[in-house]
Structure 1
Amino acid sequence: MTTEPLTFPLTRTGPFDLPAEVLAMRADRPITRVRYPDGRTGWLVTRRAAVRAVLADPRFSARQELRSTPFNTAAETPPAIPGMFIGMDPPDHTHYRRLLTGQFTVRRMRRLTTRVEQIAAEHLDLMAAAGPPADLVPAYAVPIPALVICELLGIQPAMREPFMQATARMSRIDAALEEKQRAMAEVSGHIAEMVRHKRAEPADDLLSGLIADGGRLTDDEVTTMAFLLLGAGFDTTANMLGLGTFALLSNPDQLPAVTDPATVDNAVEELLRYLPIIPGTIRSALEDIELEGVRIAKGESVMVSIPGANRDPEHFADPDTLRTARDTAGHVAFGHGVHQCLGQQLARVEMRVALPALFRRFPDLALAVPPEQVPLRDDMVIGGVHALPVTWGA
């Protein structure tokens, strides 16, 4: 069987297209043998049914020390440190996730909805006052999730900018391992300082809640869990807002669904399905497993393609077209199974508020450059745009 090399970035022909390699595999070999940068062979899965099967099957492990990855040539990866629950299996994963789930209360989510509305309005005012053109990424797409996740955690305003800069350095595909490690240490150091402060002076925020939850977590565990939330709650949503706006400007017939309260929820779900933000996630087989007639050997890594699953023509008709009225049930933008994204409701709130507010405030919003001049984040793990120059009637 042919072994395809699996290294990133993959070849993308357009801002909303699947990588050419994934398109070819999806059509011909939806479970394809690949070679990882560390020299090991494994698999790439692009069919939705198989993706969901892998993510729901406990025989496929999330333990990071067992997995190869297309982002790292190191032959050995250490086990996840305490609190790094996304790289663990149950029961360790269950322990940490249950403690964190208890902090995402209905009251806290309602309060954050109000803050998203306020933050969006404030930044739209700043855009209007400065006048066109503007780069929507730093002016709007980044500040909303950045401020919201910092307020959720209880991070002081003076520390927010260093967080964002270090998080961006960690996300670069071409960054040396040492540079990424320095950035991670910098972020963790800031969070550890905040944890010590919250233990001495608790407040009504998530960090304080984790610390006060029966004393079951050490400061290092709280720091690590907050580190995960910061990365997951900022970068992905910021790029959903940036690339989502680009997609809507490129498909103006779909815009009315976003500004209509009756249809905005479904429009957001379609954007989540359509936008190729997260390339995938990786599991390792704990035993020999047969998947759709393919034998996956114990110890082999399996990367499931989230965009491939969300564009599977066997489940979504005309999957490569943005259609805000479609039935979006079954998309896996937030994963599937026990590791499904914990902050997905917060991401939905930010998109449901920020996108309608933007297009209501600037109904004639348009790209300020030709579409092909919009710089894509092909050098980053999380897809999106580095900048989105826009204009509107002055």
Structure 2
Amino acid sequence: MTEVSPAFPLPRDAGCPFDPPPELARLQREQPVSRVRLWDGSTPWLVTRYDDVRAVLAGTRTSSDTEHPGYPHPTPGIAARRRRFKAFINMDDPEHAARRRLLTGDFLVKKMEALRPRIQRIVDEKIDDLLSRPQPADLVKAFALPVPSLVICELLGVPYADRAFFHRVSKKLISRESTAEESLAATEELLAYLGELVDKKNKEPGDDLISRLTVGQLRTGAMSREEIAGTAQLLLVAGHETTANMIALGTVALLQHPDQLAEIRDTDSPGLIANAVEELLRYLTITHSGRRRVAVEDIELDGRHIRPGDGIVAAGDIANRDPAVFPDPDRLDIHRKARHHVAFGYGVHQCLGQPLARVELQVVYGTLYRRIPTLALAEPVESLKFKHDMVVYGVHELPVTW
């Protein structure tokens, strides 16, 4: 009998919104490397164990290049968008390394730490704004989305006044339900907007990342106008969507664990806050569609033979719940040493912006609950609309009171 591959992504248990799909846990125990079926009928390998996920992401036997025929695109919209413009994260070395080196200086840990006071001011200002609103208020709209949007706008040199536009377009780009036509239209809109911004920076450079790329790369001919606009698009969308969802979803998770929230609220230990951030990143793993690769050499994993051209989905969400690495993995424990999680990926393609995300989350989690100690959900967690329809997990709205 031919083995039937389950459709991926797999459904979550409605009663356990913070946990990966239960079928993923079963596969990790019983079939850690198995076939799944994607939207286009392709059947890539799903890799679920922590060590195997890291091996897939770290090795040179797999490729991130989306032009490979076997590359397992998450959605038709994302496939169409990547055919239109390929970002550096979808390239292999040495091309990937060369493009990434142009940006690493802007995201160094030391540089992100220097931003901490500014991020603290933004967080405090947005909490003041939240407290001035009638109750209940939507924490996503009033706080979780504005904070990282302001930060990434200042870093890139994108006018925050245009946030309604790029928030709207970003939703189209990360929606699992966007058609190829909708995704392409959104891509063209954002590339055109950012291309015009590159032109402005070329005439009047500022102290921001887009200006530095324009002066250092466009004027020398090393990068085209569209390549800079495309890089800015990736950083703008990823730079606010991921952190915004971690702020909101992390808050929901902590409100369901009041003892641990109280520890975070009452502590004066930056180390405990930093530790809590890592555990929440592990526990929630909001990039819940898996890291995508295609094999370029023969690979043996758990007795399975992966051939060149086979697509691979490295499921970081369930890898971060691997009991061989994280004892009692389904329990949130802010004292757990979880820094070795794979929420930011692994290897040369791991998230460029992770130092920024860590500082933002440390400031948010260390400030929000202390300043609003009576923060509470305005409706049961079962009533919240979770982002099953997005490639980045979270909540669409978060009504709260205080």
User: How does the TM-score come out when normalised to structure 2?
Assistant: 0.92
Report the counterpart of residue 31 of structure 1 in structure 2: 33
- Which amino acid in 2 is paired with 1:275? L
Distance 2:79 2:187 in 1: 20
- Find the residue that maps to 1:369 and give its secondary structure: coil
Within 5 Å, which residues of 2 pair with 1:52-131?
52-66=54-68, 67-72=71-76, 81=85, 84-105=87-108, 108-131=111-134
Check if 1:230 corresponds to 2:236.
yes
Distance 1:255 1:295, change over 3 A: same
Q: Map Cα deviations across residues 332-377 of structure 1 (whole Å, 9 max, x no partner).
A: 0100000010000100111001122110111111111011011101
1:325 aligns with 2:354: no
- Structure 1, unaligned runs of 5 or more: none
In the TM superposition, what is the alpha-carbon distance from 1:136 to its structure 2 partner? Answer: 0.6
Equivalent residue for 2:187? Answer: 184
Distance 1:305 1:148, change over 3 A: same
Q: Is the 8 A contact 2:169 2:186 kept in 1?
A: yes
Say whether the 8 Å CA contact 2:242–2:286 is kept in structure 1: yes
Q: Give a deviation string over 1:205-256, Cα, whole Å, max 9, x none.
A: 0111112225332212111111111121111110000000000000011113
Whether the aligned pair in 1 keeps the contact of 2:191 and 2:230 (CA below 8 Å) is yes
- Identify if the C-alpha distance between structure 1 residues 9 and 203 changes in structure 2 by more than 3 Å, giving closer, same or farther: farther
For 1:347, the equivalent position in structure 2 comes to 357
Matched-pair contact (CA < 8 Å) for 1:37–1:73 = no
Q: Which deviates more, 265-274 or 276-285? A: 276-285
Letter matched to residue 51 of structure 2: A
Q: Is the 8 A contact 2:149 2:240 kept in 1?
A: yes
The answer on whether the counterparts of 1:258 and 1:268 sit within 8 Å (CA) in structure 2 is: no
Could you tell me how far 1:156 is from its partner in structure 2? 1.7
Matched, 1:272 2:274: no
Deviations 1:44-90 (A, max 9, x none): 011000000000111100011220234239999976746x1111100
Partners of 2:115 and 2:184 in 1: CA distance: 31
User: Is 1:144 aligned to 2:147, yes or no?
Assistant: yes
Q: Matched residue of 2:292: which SS? A: strand
What does 1:244-323 correspond to in 2, within 5 Å? Answer: 244-259=250-265, 260-262=267-269, 263-279=272-288, 280-323=290-333
The 1:55–1:203 alpha-carbon spacing in structure 2 relative to 1, beyond 3 Å, is: same
TM-score normalised by structure 1 residue count: 0.94
Alignment-derived partner of residue 2 in structure 1: 3
Q: CA RMSD in A?
A: 2.0
Mapped to 2, the partners of 1:294 and 1:352 lie a distance apart of: 41
Distance in 1 separating the partners of 2:333 and 2:311: 34
Code of the aligned partner of 2:319: A
2: CA distance between counterparts of 1:78 and 1:233? 18
Corresponding pairs, count:
391
Gaps of 5+ in 2: none
